[in-house]
């Protein structure tokens, strides 16, 4: 279990607006129009929030406006949160989930259970929403391996605003195989919900993307972990487990330790990898998760290190290195944990099982036609999202290979499939990283890159989504419906 502490919440949000610009030409490229906002580091004097763990059996999650103190002691009246906090839910494989969403917002919302393999009607499709003042029930069985999943709203054209406002949480699934590994637990198992926010002078959140920022995605100027700006965490000289989710709208992180020590990656979106992977850095795009061990046993009491994001030309156009979380070694303790050489068994899906290949083109994000900028420029196969249109139909239980082509694109796109997990077969123009192996539900497709994935679809029928998890791209139309029949 995680340590229980009082939650210090987010701040308010300016109303989202999109600026529509007139252009005097029939086609224009905006690759150099704007660059992501760089992070301004804080002073790391606030303890990291460790959320209270909730049981999903007969749970009520209220989406509501919560006046909160966040930045420099200023009260912001319009922050939107689940239950006034950052909830973390934990359940076991085989459990039954029964959660009521109570919508106390002034607009429609819902919950998408990102990474959960559940029926379509429970998934949180944009058509399945709770109106302002209404409720919606989510009732489903957990039938998947242990993994770090998360949840957030998914109303069409309002996902970016609501997630930026603070509506998100983590959902941890445990199983017997993971438990048998005796991984670090209790106070040494720490959720990290990573985000970036932009603030007004009064301390309130500022979400008002210009059209140029719709093109790149919306970036904040402060880094937050568990809704805390520049936090610190006291650690002992032992191994710690960090479950990290990128809950940012658009920012890609290149995670690393400031002292150059390795991150030991044991899991990703779909749970444990086959073997631990030790790397000095790892990319984490919006929607993706990494399960990371850090060994503090070689650090002396009184020393400090930071989790940081490295400057990286792939992540955010070469944004500068910035620190995110300070670790303070404050106590010595003997380590009893031994890192397993094998974590789990992952059987590759055979290419010969594929019944069909499909191709999906992601166009140059900044190409514009018609003489004026407009929404709906982010497309899949040339089509902006239509909630009532079925773009692809697949047969229940079939296996298929999907190629997602960003070879002419000038922006990276983290592509997410609802309701399924997949394996990455090939990257043309890039390399499959060790932490991209195993089971995934979100994959970063860099500019000028094609990615092939193999998907075994469930026998459960219904309508699901594939979309870019850059939330401004998603809200602008880079999303499609696929129906399992």
Q: ∠ CA(79), CA(163), CA(145), 5° rounding?
A: 130
Label residues 427-445 b or e (16+ Cβ within 10 Å = b).
Answer: beebeebbbbbbbbbbbbb
* Res 16: pLDDT: 33
Q: ∠ CA(17), CA(254), CA(289), 5° rounding?
A: 80
* Distance of alpha carbon 144 from alpha carbon 271, whole angstroms: 9
CATH 3.30.70.2860 fits 46-179, yes or no: no
As a whole number, mean pLDDT of residues 67-75 equals 72
User: Rounded to a whole number, what is the distance in angstroms from the first to the last CA of the chain?
Assistant: 40
Domain 351-484, CATH among 2.60.40.420, 2.160.10.10, 3.40.640.10, 3.30.565.10: 2.60.40.420
The token pair that represents 440 in the structure block: 């995934």
If you average pLDDT over every residue of the chain, what do you get? 89
As a whole number, mean pLDDT of residues 253-278 equals 98
Per-residue pLDDT of 376-386, as tens digits, reads 589 999 999 99
pTM: 0.91
* Res 364: pLDDT: 64
As a whole number, mean pLDDT of residues 32-36 equals 55
Question: Which residue, among 282, 307, 311, has the nearest Cα to 44 in the 3D structure?
Answer: 307
Question: Cα Rg for the chain, rounded, in angstroms?
Answer: 21
Residue 122: strand, helix, or coil: helix
Assign 72 a pLDDT band (cuts: 50, 70, 90): low
CB 434 within 8 A of CB 382: no
Q: ∠ CA(98), CA(470), CA(458), 5° rounding?
A: 45
Of 30-34, 51-55, 395-399, the one with minimum mean pLDDT is: 30-34
* Distance of alpha carbon 404 from alpha carbon 420, whole angstroms: 16
Residue 410 has pLDDT above 90, yes or no: no
Report domain 186-331's class.
mainly beta
Residue 368 has pLDDT above 50, yes or no: no
Structure letter (DSSP) for residue 466 = E
Q: Which CA distances in Å does 72 have to 44, 46, 199, 202?
A: 13, 11, 11, 9
Structure letter (DSSP) for residue 199 = B
Residue 24 has pLDDT above 50, yes or no: no
Phi, psi angles (nearest 5°) of residue 382: 80, 5
What is the percent of the chain with per-residue pLDDT over 70, rounded to a whole number? 88
Bridge partner list, 109: 130
Residue 18 has pLDDT above 80, yes or no: no
Q: ∠ CA(478), CA(158), CA(152), 5° rounding?
A: 90
Residue 144: strand, helix, or coil: coil
* Res 314: pLDDT: 66
Per-residue pLDDT of 98-133, as tens digits, reads 999 999 999 999 999 999 999 999 999 999 999 999
Assign 25 a pLDDT band (cuts: 50, 70, 90): very low
CB 162 within 8 A of CB 147: no
* Distance of alpha carbon 49 from alpha carbon 151, whole angstroms: 18
The token pair that represents 211 in the structure block: 């059209």
Tell me, letter by letter, the H, E, C secondary structure of 362-394: CCCCCCECCCECCCCCCCECCECCCCCCCCEEE
Q: ∠ CA(50), CA(51), CA(53), 5° rounding?
A: 125
* Distance of alpha carbon 303 from alpha carbon 257, whole angstroms: 13
* Res 343: pLDDT: 98
Q: Could you give the residue range(s) of every CATH 2.60.40.420 domain in the chain?
A: 46-179, 186-331, 351-484
Of 27-31, 95-99, 160-164, 374-378, the one with minimum mean pLDDT is: 27-31
As a whole number, mean pLDDT of residues 59-81 equals 83
């Amino acid at each position: 279990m995680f340590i229980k502490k009082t939650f210090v919440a987010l701040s308010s949000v300016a109303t989202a607006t999109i600026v529509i610009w007139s252009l005097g030409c029939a086609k224009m490229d905006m690759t150099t129009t704007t660059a992501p906002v760089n992070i301004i580091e804080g002073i790391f004097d606030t303890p990291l929030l460790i959320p209270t763990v909730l049981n999903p059996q007969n749970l009520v999650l209220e989406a509501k406006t919560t006046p909160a103190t966040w930045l420099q002691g200023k009260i912001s009246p319009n922050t939107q949160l689940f239950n006034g906090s950052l909830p973390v839910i934990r359940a076991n494989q085989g459990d039954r989930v029964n959660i009521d969403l109570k919508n106390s917002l002034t607009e429609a919302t819902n919950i998408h259970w990102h990474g959960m393999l559940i029926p379509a009607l429970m998934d949180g499709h944009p058509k399945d929403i709770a109106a302002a003042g209404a409720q919606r029930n989510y009732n489903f069985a957990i039938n998947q391996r242990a993994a770090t999943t998360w949840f957030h709203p998914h109303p069409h054209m309002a996902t970016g605003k609501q997630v930026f406002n603070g509506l998100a949480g983590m959902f941890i699934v445990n199983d017997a195989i993971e438990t048998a590994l005796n991984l670090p637990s209790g106070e040494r198992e720490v959720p990290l919900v990573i985000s970036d926010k932009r603030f007004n002078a009064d301390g309130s959140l500022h979400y008002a993307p210009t059209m140029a920022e719709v093109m790149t995605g919306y970036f904040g100027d402060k880094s937050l972990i568990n809704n805390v700006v520049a936090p610190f965490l006291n650690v002992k000289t032992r191994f710690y487990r960090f479950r990290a989710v990128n809950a940012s709208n658009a920012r890609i992180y290149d995670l690393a330790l400031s002292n150059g020590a390795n991150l030991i990656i044991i899991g990703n979106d779909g749970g444990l990898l086959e073997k631990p992977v030790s790397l000095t850095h790892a990319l984490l795009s919006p929607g993706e998760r990494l399960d990371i061990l850090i060994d503090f046993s070689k650090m002396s009491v009184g020393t400090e290190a930071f989790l940081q994001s490295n400057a990286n030309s792939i992540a955010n156009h070469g944004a500068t290195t910035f620190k995110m979380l300070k670790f303070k070694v404050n106590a010595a303790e003997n380590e009893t944990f031994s890192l397993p050489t094998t974590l789990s068994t992952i059987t590759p899906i055979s290419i010969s099982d594929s019944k069909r290949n499909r191709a999906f083109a992601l166009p140059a994000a900044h190409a514009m036609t018609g003489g004026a900028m407009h929404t709906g420029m982010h497309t899949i196969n040339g089509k902006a999202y239509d909630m009532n249109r079925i773009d692809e139909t697949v047969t229940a239980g079939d296996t298929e290979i999907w190629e997602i082509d960003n070879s002419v694109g000038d922006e990276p796109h983290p592509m997410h499939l609802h309701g399924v997990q997949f394996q990455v077969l090939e990257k043309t123009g890039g390399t499959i990283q060790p932490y991209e192996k195993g089971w995934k539900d979100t994959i970063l497709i860099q500019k000028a890159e094609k990615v092939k994935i193999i998907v075994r679809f469930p026998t459960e029928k219904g309508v699901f989504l594939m979309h870019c998890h850059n939330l401004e791209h998603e809200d602008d139309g880079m999303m499609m419906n696929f129906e399992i029949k």
